[in-house]
């Protein structure tokens, strides 16, 4: 693709979600994740704890309407919409109370704000499409069924679909979801060899996507964000309020970022405004987004 009309590179964004990936299992020296370790070294990253028992910044005893429940439904809803459960309404994997009409996903917001943008999403947890988290305004939506076919199979199909888009089409914004680490965490816990194997598989998929981006024509400037929705107990499982379940991370890689930059407590709700910022989509205050734009080089703005 040629550069923009002023000769500047055209900004594009890849967001990769890895369900139930514990930060400490990712960052340990012997973790099976060379691609992610490369992004950690060359880019920016940080961690935060999902909020628990707070309202308007005031600590409370026990959970409140702003609690970010450590389940995948509320977690990915927060990532994609840029608001916490007190606004998007999702407090569990039943998605009861979801308000994606008022708080749509960031791909839909980008597509509606700039109709020329090409948006695409590929996921191995079909609920993200079936429940409306990823809305119909997205240009391409593909979902595979990790619950039925196993996430190793479904994640591979997701990676293949995303590879096709990157090599045969011209996406401006791509969201990819892998669920293998969460499946392994539930089955054998995050300290198990099976969890390491799932992490390596996802890392390999990510490497293929980054290689496809590198092989694209010049005139593009890619921002890559990698995140998770929650952690896991050592014994496996989540849904509670321990630090092991609440800790999440964000990795941000883009040209001009000093290697090894530490992000200051990046939150799940920061993903959406950061994506929109990198694409040059102004955030309307009426959208009520709860996140902030993660810092990057001044040249990242369109």
Per-residue pLDDT tens digits of the chain, which is 302 residues long: 334 444 457 999 999 999 999 999 999 988 889 999 999 999 999 999 999 754 334 443 334 445 789 999 999 999 999 999 999 999 999 999 999 999 999 999 999 999 999 999 999 999 999 999 999 999 999 999 999 999 999 999 999 999 999 999 999 999 999 999 999 999 999 999 999 999 999 999 999 999 999 999 779 999 999 999 999 999 999 999 999 999 999 999 999 999 999 999 999 999 999 999 999 999 999 999 999 999 987 544 44
**Opening angle at CA 296, ends 250 and 266, nearest 5:** 30
The sheet carrying 220-227 orders its strands as 140-143, 119-123, 173-178, 10-18, 220-227, 247-253, 44-49, 261-262
Dihedral in degrees, nearest 10, Cα atoms 258, 262, 268, 274: -30
User: In terms of pTM, does the model score above 0.75?
Assistant: yes
Q: What stretches of 90-185 adopt beta strand conformation (E)?
A: 119-123, 140-143, 173-178
CATH code for the domain defined by 10-51+110-294: 3.40.720.10
Give me the pLDDT at residue 135, please. Answer: 97
Give me the pLDDT at residue 59, please. Answer: 40
Task: Tell which residue, 130, 129, 126, 92, has the closest CA to residue 107.
Answer: 129
Give me the pLDDT at residue 67, please. Answer: 78
Give me the pLDDT at residue 2, please. Answer: 39
Give me the pLDDT at residue 52, please. Answer: 78
């Amino acid at each position: 693709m040629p550069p923009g009309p002023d000769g500047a590179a055209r900004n594009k964004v890849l967001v990769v979600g890895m369900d139930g990936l514990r930060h400490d299992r990712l960052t340990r020296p012997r973790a099976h994740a060379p691609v992610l370790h490369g992004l950690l070294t060359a880019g920016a990253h940080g961690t935060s704890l999902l909020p628990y028992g707070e309202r308007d910044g005031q600590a409370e005893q026990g959970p409140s309407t702003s609690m970010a429940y450590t389940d995948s439904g509320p977690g990915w809803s927060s990532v994609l919409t840029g608001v916490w459960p007190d606004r998007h309404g999702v407090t569990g994997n039943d998605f009861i109370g979801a308000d994606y009409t008022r708080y749509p996903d960031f791909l839909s917001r980008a597509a509606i704000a700039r109709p020329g943008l090409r948006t695409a999403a590929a996921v191995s947890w079909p609920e993200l499409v079936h429940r409306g988290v990823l809305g119909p305004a997205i240009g391409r939506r593909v979902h595979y069924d990790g619950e039925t076919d196993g996430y190793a199979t479904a994640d591979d199909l997701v990676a293949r679909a995303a590879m096709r888009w990157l090599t045969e089409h011209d996406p401006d914004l791509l969201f990819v979801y892998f669920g293998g680490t969460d499946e392994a965490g539930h089955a054998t816990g995050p300290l198990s060899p099976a969890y390491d194997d799932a992490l390596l598989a996802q890392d390999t998929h990510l490497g293929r996507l980054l290689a496809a981006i590198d092989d694209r024509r010049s005139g593009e400037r890619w921002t890559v964000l990698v995140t998770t929705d929650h952690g896991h107990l050592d014994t496996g499982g989540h849904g509670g309020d321990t630090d092991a379940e609440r800790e999440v991370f964000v990795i941000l890689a883009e040209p001009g970022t000093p290697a090894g930059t530490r992000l200051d407590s990046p939150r799940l709700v920061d993903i959406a405004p950061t994506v929109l910022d990198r694409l040059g989509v102004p955030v309307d205050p009426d959208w009520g987004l709860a996140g902030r734009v993660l810092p990057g080089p001044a040249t990242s703005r369109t």
